[in-house]
Amino acid sequence: ELEIIIKATDAVPDSVRTDNEEQIKLIASIEVIRDQIVDHEKELEAKNEESRQRREAAGEQQSKQAELETQIDDLLREIELEEKSRTKVAELPVLKTDSKNQVAILLRYDRLYLTHTYDGNGNRGSINTADMIIVKSLDEKGKPITEARAKPSAGIDLTANNSKMKITSLMKKFNPQRESIIILVGPGSFDSYQKVASVLTQLGFNIFPWPIGDGVWDQGGSSTPTQ
């Protein structure tokens, strides 16, 4: 039987055998191409997914940036409104003069400072070194001057709840019939001025608001314009 099969195989024409081999090769080539197409499709899907993730990330980043810009704009508006609410123009009153003794207080750092020492009768002594730092220098003309600067941690804290009581206690050594109060208003202290002026007016004192720079010059004198 083996011989018969071999002979039968040998009996297949060469043309048929060649066609079969070509078909097998063609099928194999098609499979290779199909695998390549599948791999290419997978690669495209991976790239598309990567692109999608990048777009989502970019969208999230843009959204976060827009949200951050909105927050910054809101914060800037809040700061602007806060500055406007804190910026108050203190209108100075019409002034007149009197012959009362001067008592100078300084408003700075949201605090009230008594610039000089006074005895029980309202007589002025030297610069109040408990509240002030003394600096001696020369003016533009070479004249000696004494500059007193406020100590940031001294004086009466005007933001404290008991500040009105402390101002009232400080003023007990003075007589509204005998003394006028000069309020030296330092930079950024107009809010403090309105609070202090209200208390002093209630106590019966004539007050004289005087805007100043950083320093206070002790030049003496007894006559002052008041309201």
Based on the fold, state whether residues 132 and 29 are members of the same structural domain: no
Nearest to 186 by CA among 161, 151, 160: 151
Greater confidence, 11 or 38? 38
The percent of residues above 90 in pLDDT, for the chain, comes to: 0
- The answer to whether 209 and 185 have CB atoms below 8 angstroms apart is yes
Instruction: Write the DSSP string, 52-95.
Output: HHHHHHHHHHHHHHHHHHHHHHHHHHHHHHHHHHH----PPPP-
Nearest to 153 by CA among 133, 183, 172: 133
Q: Tell me the CA distances in angstroms from 168 to 75, 101, 199, one per residue in order.
A: 40, 19, 8
What pLDDT is stored for residue 13 in this prediction? 54
Q: Once rounded to an integer, what is the mean pLDDT over residues 16-41?
A: 75
Based on the fold, state whether residues 70 and 159 are members of the same structural domain: no
pLDDT band at 68 (very low <50, low <70, confident <90, very high): confident
What pLDDT is stored for residue 75 in this prediction? 72
Based on the fold, state whether residues 108 and 208 are members of the same structural domain: yes
What pLDDT is stored for residue 90 in this prediction? 37
- The answer to whether 148 and 162 have CB atoms below 8 angstroms apart is no
Does a structural domain hold residue 91?
A: no
Distance in angstroms (rounded) separating the CA atoms of residues 95 and 162: 30
Instruction: Write the DSSP string, 134-170.
Output: EEEEE-TTS-EEEEEEE-TTSSEETTSTTHHHHHHHH
Based on the fold, state whether residues 46 and 120 are members of the same structural domain: no
Q: What is the residue range of 175's domain?
A: 96-226
Nearest to 225 by CA among 62, 93, 36: 93
pLDDT band at 20 (very low <50, low <70, confident <90, very high): low
pLDDT digits (tens, 9 = 90+) for 136-180: 777 778 888 777 788 888 888 888 889 889 999 988 888 888 888
CATH number at residue 167: 3.30.420
Based on the fold, state whether residues 72 and 16 are members of the same structural domain: yes
